[in-house]
Amino acid sequence: MPLVVVGSVALDSVETPTETRENLLGGSAVFFSYAASYFTPTWLVSVVGDDWPPEHTELLDARGIDTSGLKKVPGKTFSWRGRYYDDMNHRETLEVNLNVFEDFDPTLAEAHCRCKYLFLANGPPAVQLRVLDQCPGAQLAVADTMDLWIKSSRDEMTELLRRIDGLVLNDSEAKLLTGEENLVRAGHATCALGPRFVVIKKGEHGAMFFSRHETYVLPAYPTPNVLDPTGAGDSFGGGMMGYLAEQGNFEPKTLKKALAYGMLTASFTVEGFSLDGLKKVRREDIEQRMDEYRKMLAF
Amino acid sequence: MPLVVVGSVALDSVETPTETRENLLGGSAVFFSYAASYFTPTWLVSVVGDDWPPEHTELLDARGIDTSGLKKVPGKTFSWRGRYYDDMNHRETLEVNLNVFEDFDPTLAEAHCRCKYLFLANGPPAVQLRVLDQCPGAQLAVADTMDLWIKSSRDEMTELLRRIDGLVLNDSEAKLLTGEENLVRAGHATCALGPRFVVIKKGEHGAMFFSRHETYVLPAYPTPNVLDPTGAGDSFGGGMMGYLAEQGNFEPKTLKKALAYGMLTASFTVEGFSLDGLKKVRREDIEQRMDEYRKMLAF
C-alpha cells in the first residue's frame, strides 16, 4: 500500500570526530522515504530551493520513490550543520537555515490526499495538522516531533496528539512532553494524551513501544561501524511505516515486527554518511540482518 | 552447585530526587549474594566492622546465604553515600569510607577454596588475583571491576584479565579500559585482553554479551518503579552467576539465559531501597517476569 511522507529535504554538513562532510543529501523526508522504499511505494512531499542538485532527486527516483510532491521554489534549500562527539550519541546543532522550508505549507496532490498510510515527519504541529486535514481517509497517521515544537507549540501539539494514531519521538522529547523522567511512565503518559501507540527512540539503545495493552522494548542491532548517526531516527520511521504499509495492517503483531524492521533499517543508515550506508543495501540484506536479530533475541 | 562471592559489605546512604535513606544494608557482595541465592547455594566472603548491625547478617542467613566467610574486625564498616539525579541514571558518589574494607585481604576457608563457581566482585585487582590463587579448581571465575582500578592498577588488571573466564563491567568502564567509544568494539577489544566472555552492563538499557563467536544485546526489563538503582549491577551479576551455578554449565545457551536472569533479578532490586525490592520476591516472581520478558522479545 502506498505511503506518503511529508517532511524536510535538506543539505547537511556533518562533523564527526574523524571526518567532516559538506552539503550532503539529508532531511527527515529523504531518510524516511529511502528507508520506506525497501518495503512499499513511497511518495515524498517536501520543498527545495533553486540551489538543489538534480542528482539528489535522481537518486530518490532511482529507488522508485515518487518525487512528484517535491516542489522547487525560489530561494535556498533548508540546510543543517551538526557535530557528533566521541561516542556518536551526543550531537550539537551548529547551524540551521530553514530557508525555503520556513514557508513550507504543502498542498497535497489529489492522489496523495487519498493515502491510507501517512507519516508526518518532524515539523511545526500546525503544518502537520493542515496535512492531516487534507488526508481524511488516512487509516494510519503517524507523526514525529522534536523538543522545539513541544516547547513552543503546546496547543497545536495537544490537538495533533488527539488526532494522530501514532507518535514517534526520542527519549528526551518524551520526558519533556510528559514531565516524567522514567521512560516507561513517559511512554504511558504520552499515550494518555491521545495516540493509540507511542514509540520512544533511544538511539543506540533501541526503542520502546507503548499502547493501552502493551509495553515492550527492543534493542538496537549492535553495529561496530557507526560513521554518521544523522537520519537514523527518520530511517527508523521509514522502515517501520514502510513495513506496516507493505503488510497493509497495523495489528499488534505487525507493529512489533515493524519496530524491528525500523531498527534494522536504521542500523544500515549509521554505517555511512548521508544515504551511503543505506544505498548499498538490498532488501535481502535487511532480511539477513533480521535473521541475525531474531537469533540474537532468542534464548 | 555452590557459588562463592568475594566483595564488599557496606552501609549505604542514598539520596534520590524524592527521598533520602541512611545506613542501609549494601555492598557488592550483599546484592550479589542475595540475588544469587534465588538460584543456588551462595557463600559470601567479606568483612565488616564492630558497628555492624547483626540483623543484617540475620537477613542474609534467612535466605540461606552462607555467611561463615563474613569476618568481623575492629573498626568501622565500609560506608558509601551517593546521590541520584532526576532520571536515576546519573549518580554522584558523595562520600566513601573504606574503613575495614581497606585492609581486606581474604583468606578463604578450605571449603570455599574448592568452589567451582567464583565471583570476584569489584575490588582491587591485586586482591582479586590473590583470591583466584586460592581457588585453583574454579571452573568459572568471573570478575567485576570499576574505573578506579582500570586507571590505577593497569598491570594487575592486565594479569587479572588473562586469568579470569569472564568480566562484567559497565559501559563507561569498557570504554575507559579499551579506548573504544563504540560499545561493540569495546566489547571485542576487552575479550581480546583475555576473558572468554565479557558482559557490558548498560543500566536501564540492558546488557551486551561478547565472546569470540557471539555478540548480542538484551534489553533491560522495563519497570516504571525505579526507586533506587543502587546494587542493580551487583544483582545482575548475582542473578547471572547464580543461574549458571544452578545449571552447572556455562554453554553459550546457558550464558544467554543467565544474562536474562541477571537482568530480571536486577529489575526487582531497583524497585526498592537496599534489598527491599528483592526481599519481596520469590523465585516464582522471577520466573513470571521471565515469561513476560520472553513474550516481549518474541515477534
Please report the pLDDT score of residue B87 as a whole number.
80
pTM: 0.95
Q: Do A98 and A75 form a contact (C-beta atoms < 8 A)? A: no
Extended strands (E) in A126-223:
140-144, 166-170, 197-201, 207-211, 215-218
Q: Do B158 and B41 form a contact (C-beta atoms < 8 A)? A: no
The CA distances from residue A124 to A54, A139, A237, B270, in Å, are: 27, 22, 18, 38
CA angle A130, A132, A137 (to 5 degrees): 140
| pLDDT, mean over chain B | 97
Q: Cα A20 to chain center, whole Å?
A: 23
Place of cell 579499551: B178
Strands of B91-97's sheet in order across? B20-26, B10-15, B79-84, B91-97
Please report the pLDDT score of residue A34 as a whole number.
98
Q: Cα A206 to chain center, whole Å?
A: 14
The parent domain of residue A136 ranges over 3-7+27-46+109-297
In this complex, the residue of A220, A226, A257 whose CB is nearest that of residue B299 is A257
Query: Which chain B residues are within 8 Å of A257, Cβ to Cβ?
Result: 299
Please indicate whether, in this complex, the C-beta atoms of B219 and A206 are within 8 angstroms of each other.
yes
Regions of chain A where pLDDT drops below 50: none
Set of cell numbers at residue B277: 525490592
Task: Provide the number of structural domains found in chain B.
Answer: 1
Quick check: is A94 in a domain? Answer: no
The count of CB pairs under 8 A between chains A and B is 75
- % of chain A exceeding 70 in pLDDT: 100
Query: Which chain A residues are within 8 Å of B181, Cβ to Cβ?
Result: 17, 86-88
Q: Where do the H-state alpha helices sit in B153-209?
A: 154-163, 171-178, 183-191
Please report the pLDDT score of residue A87 as a whole number.
80
Quick check: is A76 in a domain? Answer: no
Quick check: is A162 in a domain? Answer: yes
Provide CB contacts within 8 A for B111, sequence distance 6+: B43
Which residues are bridge partners to A215 per DSSP?
A: A210
Please indicate whether, in this complex, the C-beta atoms of B224 and A296 are within 8 angstroms of each other.
no
Query: Which chain B residues are within 8 Å of A260, Cβ to Cβ?
Result: 299
Smallest CA–CA distance, residue A66 to chain B, in Å, is 31
Inform me whether the pLDDT recorded for B82 exceeds 90.
yes
Provide CB contacts within 8 A for B88, sequence distance 6+: A181, A182, B16, B204, B226, B229, B270
Q: Concatenate the DSSP letters of all residues of A65-110 into one string.
A: -EEEEEEE-SSPPPEEEEEE-TTSS-EEEEEEE-GGGGG------H
**pLDDT per residue over B228-266, tens digit each?**
999 999 999 999 999 999 999 999 999 999 999 999 999
Inform me whether the pLDDT recorded for B86 exceeds 90.
no
The CA distances from residue B50 to A76, B7, B78, in Å, are: 75, 18, 11
Residue B254 corresponds to which amino acid?
T
Set of cell numbers at residue A117: 498510510
Give the residue-averaged pLDDT of B206-219: 97
How far is residue A111's CA from residue A149's CA, in Å, rounded to a whole number? 29
Quick check: is A58 in a domain? Answer: no
Quick check: is A171 in a domain? Answer: yes
**pLDDT per residue over A70-104, tens digit each?**
999 999 999 999 999 988 888 999 999 999 999 99
Inform me whether the pLDDT recorded for B90 exceeds 90.
no
ipTM: 0.92
B122: CATH:
3.40.1190.20
